[in-house]
Structure 1
Amino acid sequence: MLGAMVAWKDVEAAAPEFAARVRRIFDAHKHKTIATIRADGGPRISGIEAEFAGGELTFGSMPGARKGADLHRDPRFALHSPSVDPPEGDPAGWAGDAKIAGRAVPAGEVGGDTEGELFRADVHEVVRTGLDDEATMLVIEIWTPGGGLRRVERA
């Protein structure tokens, strides 16, 4: 898989239960956060909507938006799920948060009534951070195309 574009469907095929957990976290709320790289090399954080459909992870950029210009100049991005607090009195009930990093590939115009450009994600890394069932340690799950799924636990 290294060298070829990695679509969301490839993550689902390689680690289906992990991909489902990550997608639930992303789908729980409409707005996400994306990090891109400015022309001067500094980071830019922007709000964004993203969609999992047809085996792809896609997101758009409005006409003239800086994040779109950033992605054309340097396609690297990091997308962060909505971040919510654990339920009061039930830390083990926290779904966690998730991140997807990779390269944005231009995919034409955004469909429908919205103007803008659509990007597809070439996925390089997917991370889910949460708690174990007893809520006694942090659990970090990391998937990469070349390394598969691994789990790190921190007390």
Structure 2
Amino acid sequence: MTSNWATFTAAEPDLAKTVEERFGQFTHHVLATLRKDGSPRTSGLEVQFLNGEFWLGMMPGSLKARDLLRDPRFSVQANPGAGTDMGGGDVRISGRALLVEDPALITSYTAATEVPDPNDFHLFRTELTEVTRTYVEDGKYLVLQVWKPGEALRRIRRT
């Protein structure tokens, strides 16, 4: 089962807000894709939360774009930043990236973002399969929140 960002936000508004704020702390994040041989590839990436969707945009012909065109599975980890203070925790969004070819959607996206050349990039709309947040609570507990479409939010607390 998959979901878009709007569905996730409706199901878990507090977690969605925290995840967006965490991604908003930095411009560049880490995208994990699968290479042709099945091994992982990590790449830098900018993301957008726009119109109820979580968008991935990248240069045409880039290795990460080729990976997603071949196998749409991905995971994006928010930039952890420098030092040890990760306000909002460590967050990750996983799912499937689907190439957008509809000119109206591309135009809508480029009008709302700072894409240098709207004709020279791959735009992917995402279907979410998991959103995860890990953080420290009260300075001593490791807390893991895991959301999957159609399931209740799981909260695991470890000492």
Taking structure 1 as the reference length, the TM-score comes to: 0.88
* 1:66 shift after superposition: 0.6
Query: Mind listing any 5+ residue stretches in structure 1 that lack a counterpart?
Result: 88-92
Give the whole-Å Cα distance in 2 for the aligned partners of 1:116 and 1:49.
Answer: 13
1:22 is matched with which residue? 19
Give the whole-Å Cα distance in 2 for the aligned partners of 1:98 and 1:113.
Answer: 28
2:70 is matched with which residue? 73
Q: Are the equivalent residues in 1 in contact too, given 2:19–2:88 (CA < 8 A)?
A: no
Distance 1:8 1:107, change over 3 A: same
Which amino acid letter does the alignment assign opposite residue 132 of structure 2?
V
Give the whole-Å Cα distance in 1 for the aligned partners of 2:43 and 2:24.
Answer: 18
Query: Mind listing any 5+ residue stretches in structure 2 that lack a counterpart?
Result: none
RMSD: 1.5
Which amino acid letter does the alignment assign opposite residue 46 of structure 1?
S
Report whether the alignment pairs 1:122 with 2:157. Answer: no
Give the whole-Å Cα distance in 2 for the aligned partners of 1:75 and 1:14.
Answer: 24
* 1:79 shift after superposition: 0.5
Taking structure 2 as the reference length, the TM-score comes to: 0.86
Give the whole-Å Cα distance in 2 for the aligned partners of 1:80 and 1:94.
Answer: 14
1:86 is matched with which residue? 84
Distance 1:24 1:55, change over 3 A: same
Higher strand content, 1 or 2: 1
Give the whole-Å Cα distance in 1 for the aligned partners of 2:143 and 2:43.
Answer: 27
1:29-48 mapped onto 2 (5 Å cutoff): 29-48=26-45
Give the whole-Å Cα distance in 2 for the aligned partners of 1:19 and 1:71.
Answer: 24
1:139 is matched with which residue? 143
* 1:121 shift after superposition: 1.0
Q: Which runs of 4+ in 1 moved over 6 A?
A: none
